[in-house]
Copies of this chain bind each other. A is one copy, B any other.
Amino acid sequence: MLLVLDLVGVAVFAASGALAAVHARLDVFGVMVLAAVTALGGGIVRDVLLGVTPPSTLRQWPYLVVPAVVALLVFRWHPAVSRLRRGVQLADALGLALFVVTGTSVALATGAPAVTSALVGVITGVGGGVLRDVLLNEVPTVLRREIYALAAAGGAVVVVAGDAAGLARLPVALGAAFLVAAVRVLALWRRWNAPTPHP
Contacts and interface: CB of A to CB of B under 8 A. Distances in A.
Interface of A: 21-22, 24-34, 44, 48-51, 53-55, 58-59, 61, 64, 75, 78, 107, 112-113, 115-116, 119-120, 130, 134-140, 142-145, 147-150, 193-197
Given A32-B149, A115-B64, A197-B75, A143 B135 contact: yes
A196 B24 CA distance: 10
26 contacts: A22-B197, A24-B139, A25-B196, A25-B197, A26-B145, A27-B196, A28-B194, A28-B195, A28-B196, A30-B145, A30-B149, A30-B194, A44-B49, A49-B53, A50-B53, A50-B54, A54-B107, A58-B119, A59-B112, A59-B113, A75-B197, A130-B135, A134-B134, A135-B140, A135-B143, A137-B137
A27 B145 contact: yes
A116 to B, nearest CB: 5
A48 to B, nearest CB: 6
